[in-house]
């Protein structure tokens, strides 16, 4: 009988059973008994979230008592949330005109503290009596943390010091090399990030990263061994899903799924322009982007491509296989911008293996030095375009070259089964966790 250790997960957002944000975690811990999983988080991704929809058996949402200066944190955080809500739901002119100066001042202070990085220091974690009692009742054997902020780095260290619990550090994006790099206080914040990340990595009993590029870079950079483990899912979930199209059968359907952050929207815009050219040549093309939280300025720029582009919002996790299988071509983009490339250079996009399992031809468009582009080129699971000037021609080729499309689909399925099978990767992950105990 398989033994599953008790794992305490530290992440920013609640892991639930339905949305795509938690799909990565659900896939890794898929077979874990819920009573062996606990979760500390600070954000709900869905309104009216209840215990029945949460993935872990034990869940603790951070309170003001779990932060230094927690009451002030609540005030400042509320000002940011309120400002975002007002942007997405414009207020009557009278309300905007009489908006208080105090509200504006609080919002400006919040944004300033966030951008500088001082937010982390002022509202650093503390283990409150309620959190301590909750953790004690669960009695974790392993603390699992991805980081992404100093808050969770410090919280993992505090729990390690307090409980002596082993830490599993799992890095998906190279945030240790980019966090606060754009802050006006980067000359202070960057050494702080490097110091505390290295301190956490040093005390971690298990260090996991995504892909060989990241593993080799982290050995060079930090002198620490990381285990490479790729994203996973169950291919049967895709092969058995009925295709769902949002356009007619005579329309060439290009589908993009996932975040448009870190400049990915810029490359999607390039593909839209290539789509307009195809349309002018007589091919009816429609690009559908299933993406959450498009920033207002990006929305304005993408809206100019409404002739070929539809922004469809996010998709429930259960609908992802059908949506992907309904496409003619799946789009995976990365930014050519130097600033954004640094953030994703070592990353493997979490949609890559899902695209492979959907068994539809994939177009990867991005710079050649990004890990996911290198992965696609090395293994041949996608048609890779690394030049903007060649994009239109290569998109046309993929659209009409039946033999090439079949070859890419067959290779993608083989690579998915070899590198991303849920059964294999989950078994490797469980063994790694058990070995440190």
Which residues are within 8 A (CB) of 430 and not within 5 positions of it... i.e. 6 or more apart? 2, 4, 31
Q: Please write the tens of the pLDDT for every residue from 362-392.
A: 999 999 999 999 999 999 999 999 998 999 9
Evaluate whether residue 339 is within a structural domain.
Answer: yes
Q: Tokens in use for 302?
A: 């993408």
Beta strands 206-209 and 285-290 are: unpaired
The rounded distance, in Å, linking the Cα atoms of 172 and 231 is 9
Say yes or no to pLDDT of 68 above 80. Answer: yes
Whether 163 and 221 map to the same domain: the answer is: yes
Whether 113 and 241 map to the same domain: the answer is: no
pLDDT bucket at 98, cuts 50 / 70 / 90:
very low
Of 105, 122, 139, which residue is a domain's last? 122
Q: Which domain holds residue 104?
A: 70-122
Whether 310 and 391 map to the same domain: the answer is: yes
Q: What's the whole-model pTM score?
A: 0.90
Torsion, Cα 144 150 156 160, to 10 degrees, reads: 140
Evaluate whether residue 2 is within a structural domain.
Answer: no
Domain count, the chain: 3
Q: Tokens in use for 287?
A: 């690009």
Whether 403 and 339 map to the same domain: the answer is: yes
Say yes or no to pLDDT of 99 above 70. Answer: no
CATH number of 57's domain: 3.40.50.2000
* Res 100: pLDDT: 62
């Amino acid at each position: 009988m398989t033994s599953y250790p008790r794992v305490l997960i530290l992440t920013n957002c609640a892991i639930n059973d339905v949305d795509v944000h938690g799909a990565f975690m659900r896939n890794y811990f898929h077979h874990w008994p819920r009573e062996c999983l606990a979760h500390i988080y600070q954000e709900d991704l869905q309104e009216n979230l209840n215990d029945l929809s949460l993935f872990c058996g034990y869940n603790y949402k951070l309170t003001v008592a779990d932060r230094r200066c927690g009451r002030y944190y609540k005030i400042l955080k509320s000002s940011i949330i309120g400002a975002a809500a007002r942007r997405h739901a414009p207020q009557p002119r009278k309300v905007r005109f009489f908006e208080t100066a105090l509200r504006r001042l609080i919002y400006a202070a919040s944004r300033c503290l966030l951008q500088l990085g001082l937010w982390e220091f002022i509202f650093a974690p503390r283990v409150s009596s309620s959190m301590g009692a909750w953790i004690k009742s669960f009695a974790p054997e392993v603390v699992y943390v991805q980081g992404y902020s100093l808050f969770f780095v410090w919280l993992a260290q505090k729990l390690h010091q307090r409980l002596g619990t082993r830490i599993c550090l799992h890095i998906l994006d190279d945030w240790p090399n980019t966090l606060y790099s754009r802050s006006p206080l980067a000359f202070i914040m960057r050494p702080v990030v490097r110091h505390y990340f290295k301190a956490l990595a040093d005390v971690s009993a298990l260090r996991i990263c995504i892909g060989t590029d990241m593993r080799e870079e982290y050995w060079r950079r930090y002198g620490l061994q990381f285990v490479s483990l790729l994203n996973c899912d169950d291919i049967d979930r895709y092969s058995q899903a009925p295709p769902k199209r949002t356009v007619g059968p005579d329309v060439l359907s290009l589908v993009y799924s996932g975040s448009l952050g870190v400049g990915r929207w810029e490359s999607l815009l390039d593909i839209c322009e290539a789509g307009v050219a195809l349309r002018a040549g007589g091919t009816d093309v429609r690009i559908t982007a299933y993406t959450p939280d498009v920033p207002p300025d990006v929305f304005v720029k993408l809206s100019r491509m409404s002739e070929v582009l539809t922004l469809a919002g996010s998709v429930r996790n259960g609908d992802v296989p059908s949506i992907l299988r309904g496409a003619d071509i799946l789009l995976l983009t990365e930014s050519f911008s130097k600033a954004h490339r640094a953030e994703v250079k070592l990353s493997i996009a979490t949609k890559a293996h899902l695209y492979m399992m959907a068994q539809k031809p994939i177009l990867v468009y991005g710079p050649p030095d990004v890990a996911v582009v290198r992965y696609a080129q090395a293994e041949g699971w996608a048609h890779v375009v690394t030049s903007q000037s060649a994009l239109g021609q290569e998109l046309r080729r993929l659209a009409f070259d039946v033999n090439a499309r079949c070859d890419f689909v067959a290779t993608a399925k083989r690579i998915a089964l070899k590198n991303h099978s849920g059964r294999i990767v989950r078994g490797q992950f469980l063994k790694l966790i058990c070995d440190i105990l």
